[in-house]
Amino acid sequence: MQKAYNTEVDVVIVGAGFAGLYLLYRLRQLGMSAQVLEMGDSVGGTWYWNRYPGARCDAESLAYSFSFSPELEQQWQWSERYATQPEILAYAEHVADHFDLRRDIAFGQKVTSALFDQGHNEWHVLTEQGMEVRARYCVMATGCLSVPQLPDIPGLSDFRGPTYQASLWPPEGVDFTGQRVGIIGTGSSGIQAIPRIAEQARHLTVFQRTPNFSVPAVNKPLDQNWVEQFKHHYREHRKFHKLGLSSGFGDLDIEPIERTPVAETAEGMSAEQVAQILDPYWERGGAFFLSAFADTMMNPATNALVAEYVRNKIRATVKDPAVAEKLCPSNHPIGTKRICVDTGYYETYNRDNVTLVDVADDPIEAITANGLRTGTEHYEFDVLVLATGFDAMTGALGRMDVRGEDGQSLKDKWAAGPRSYLGLSIAGFPNFFTVTGPGSPSVLSNMMVSIEQHVDWIVDCMQHMRNSGYQRVEAQPSAESQWVDHVNEVASATLFPQAGSWYMGANVEGKPRVFMPYAAGVGPYREVCDEVVADGYRGFDFM
Ligand code: N01
């Protein structure tokens, strides 16, 4: 039975992932009341839903964790360099229990609308299940990759065997033993799932439309002596993650080191010189690989050399040269689609029970009752797995009816792409905040670092309003426009807009092509947010 919930609170929070949990914790400390509405049956957000085999984080465990409680960070023991989904979910549950957060979370509640009542300066939030909550503030902690994107392939419902979606994986897991499996999608989810499914399945056919760049994770169990020493320096590590240019990722050593790129550029270097610099990064593993040269994401010449280095690694790993060539990405600069971090991905194509089908050359025409048909062939399988991604960054808000001042709809406002001041606040939507929204570093950063920074900023703003007796805060349209221009300007100085990525909304039919995150890094972004506050909340109107 659903427990009684709070119908009138100071803050209604949508989502009980890490953002919703930390926000609830902070509000309690301030003595503000809150009600969280969560679609899932437990906490954890992305880590609650994405239970596909092989799911694990691509940021190191000791960095991908909350920093707000020294007690929590000392107490929680991570077991591997990159934590698995079950371990991260257990961590989220531990946080919820340890801080007694569940009593203000209503589970199984899908928010359908959030409407601003301007007579009372409050939000009225409704769920599909019939809950209604009124609150002074509404905070969307809905995540950036929380709305699965199904492929627009004819015949999906004709398939007679089971179909599993990576981001809606059954909690009890799936046993592929003895099965012929087909998988569509070779982004981060597919690249993590493929090696694990291949170990179990009788046969795995991978349908690849675009190859992605992937670097080895070099995952390993954590040595607890090392962890103990690392934790000794936790405060300094956190400082680097929050203020540095590495966007909160890091390449963890016991002693915190501000790692600067080895070289400003690779332009003009020979392949051998480039390899000399990149080899130690490749051997250490992880996405930090992209930080070896300062201009990888800005200079096509450096980018091309780094990309070729990875292609040569693929060629050296995959035994069949024709398969290796199919796996070599060539249609986007490295890093402009989120770089993948894998365990044994390319090696998987050396297995006898794995076939790679390039559906860029021979497009998928339809899913059939017992497999999939391309222009030239029919492939049979018993189980279909979809790892086809998300309607990223704006997907969750786009599916709700969010209305601000004068009934203005957020969908209309964002029809040509998201507009937001600092990725935190939207002009025309008073007392409404987004955590890690478009226009902030968000998906380009370690999400835990960005979540904590946004939540702290939002809670400080609420506290400022309480102390000053304000009822209402809203971004100024001119501040919002200037910020949107600045976000675009920063993006256009990079190579990011050259890829048809989900960062650009390119994976969703009809979605405006706009580079959504802020690409300047978490340190510079934090400085801007702090300056805005120091300057009397520049760009905000209070009433
Ligand atoms: O999704 P994606 P994802 N026919 O959009 C293919 C985070 N994440 O879930 O590129 C054929 O990257 C599509 O092909 P194409 C991380 O930020 C993190 O894998 O459009 N193929 C592509 O190959 C990541 O970037 C972690 O040509 C179709 C794939 O599906 C983000 O989530 C783990 C198709 C989608 O790839 C999204 O990753 C997992 C069609 N009709 C995810 N439609 C870690 O922390 C789509 N595709 C490690």
Residue to mutate, 168, 209, 365, 379, ligand 1, most ligand atoms under 8 Å from C-beta: 209
How remote is the CA of residue 157 from the centroid of ligand 1, in Å?
A: 21
- Return d(Cα 28, Cα 359) in angstroms, integer: 52
pLDDT of res. 375: 97
How remote is the CA of residue 390 from the centroid of ligand 1, in Å?
A: 7
pLDDT of res. 6: 87
SS3 string, 503-516, reads HHCCCCCCCCCCCC
- Return d(Cα 67, Cα 448) in angstroms, integer: 8
- Return d(Cα 263, Cα 171) in angstroms, integer: 45
Q: Please provide the CATH number assigned to the domain covering 149-224+246-389.
A: 3.50.50.60
How remote is the CA of residue 376 from the centroid of ligand 1, in Å?
A: 25
- For the residues of 435-503, what is the DSSP string, one character each? TT-BTBSGGGS-HHHHHHHHHHHHHHHHHHHHHHT---EEE-HHHHHHHHHHHHHHHHTSSGGGS--GG
* Amino acid letter for position 492: S
- Return d(Cα 406, Cα 311) in angstroms, integer: 54
* Amino acid letter for position 342: D
How remote is the CA of residue 374 from the centroid of ligand 1, in Å?
A: 20
pLDDT of res. 249: 72
Residue to mutate, 150, 367, 388, 501, ligand 1, most ligand atoms under 8 Å from C-beta: 388
| pTM of the full structure | 0.97
* Nearest-CA residue for atom 8 of ligand 1: 188
Rg (alpha carbons) of the chain, rounded to whole number: 23
* Nearest-CA residue for atom 37 of ligand 1: 389
Supply 45's token pair. Answer: 């957000």
How remote is the CA of residue 150 from the centroid of ligand 1, in Å?
A: 11
What is the DSSP pairing of strand 383-386 with strand 180-184? parallel
CA neighbor of 58 nearest in space, from 255, 168, 170, 192: 192
SS3 142: coil
How remote is the CA of residue 338 from the centroid of ligand 1, in Å?
A: 9
- Return d(Cα 437, Cα 394) in angstroms, integer: 8
Distance in angstroms between the alpha carbons of the first and the last residue of the chain: 41
CA distances for 337 relative to 104, 159, 207, 503, 521, angstroms = 38, 30, 18, 8, 17
The domain over range 6-43+101-147+392-542 is classified in CATH as 3.50.50.60: yes
How remote is the CA of residue 169 from the centroid of ligand 1, in Å?
A: 15
* Nearest-CA residue for atom 29 of ligand 1: 185
Question: Which atom of ligand 1 has the smallest separation from the CA of 360?
Answer: 27
How remote is the CA of residue 303 from the centroid of ligand 1, in Å?
A: 22
- For the residues of 193-231, what is the DSSP string, one character each? HHHHHHHHBSEEEEEESS---EEE----BPPHHHHHHHH
How remote is the CA of residue 337 from the centroid of ligand 1, in Å?
A: 9
- Return d(Cα 353, Cα 203) in angstroms, integer: 5
pLDDT of res. 463: 98
Supply 54's token pair. Answer: 């092989």
Question: Which atom of ligand 1 has the smallest separation from the CA of 209?
Answer: 27
With a Cβ cut-off of 6 Å, ligand 1 is lined by: 57-58, 145, 151, 153, 166, 184-190, 192, 209-210, 338, 341, 359, 364, 387-390, 443, 502, 507
Backbone dihedral region for residue 503 (phi beyond 0: left; psi -120 to 50: alpha; all else: beta): alpha
87 touches 80 (CB < 8 A) = yes
Backbone dihedral region for residue 72 (phi beyond 0: left; psi -120 to 50: alpha; all else: beta): alpha
* Nearest-CA residue for atom 5 of ligand 1: 389
pLDDT of res. 1: 45
Each of the 543 residues of the chain gets a pLDDT tens digit; together they read: 456 788 999 999 999 999 999 999 999 999 999 999 999 999 999 999 999 999 999 999 999 999 999 999 999 999 999 999 999 999 999 999 999 999 999 999 999 999 999 999 999 999 999 999 999 999 999 999 999 999 999 999 999 999 999 999 999 999 999 999 999 999 999 999 999 999 999 999 999 999 999 999 999 999 999 999 999 999 988 988 898 766 777 667 777 766 778 899 999 999 999 999 999 999 999 999 999 999 999 999 999 999 999 999 999 999 999 999 999 999 999 999 999 999 999 999 999 999 999 999 999 999 999 999 999 999 999 999 999 999 999 999 999 999 999 999 999 999 999 999 999 999 999 999 999 999 999 999 999 999 999 999 999 999 999 999 999 999 999 999 999 999 999 999 999 999 999 999 999 999 999 999 999 999 999 999 999 999 999 999 999
pLDDT of res. 250: 65
- Return d(Cα 499, Cα 508) in angstroms, integer: 14
Phi, psi of 365 (to 5 degrees): -100, -40
- Return d(Cα 364, Cα 195) in angstroms, integer: 23
Same fold, 6-43+101-147+392-542 and 149-224+246-389: yes
Domain ranges across the chain: 6-43+101-147+392-542, 149-224+246-389
- Return d(Cα 475, Cα 82) in angstroms, integer: 38
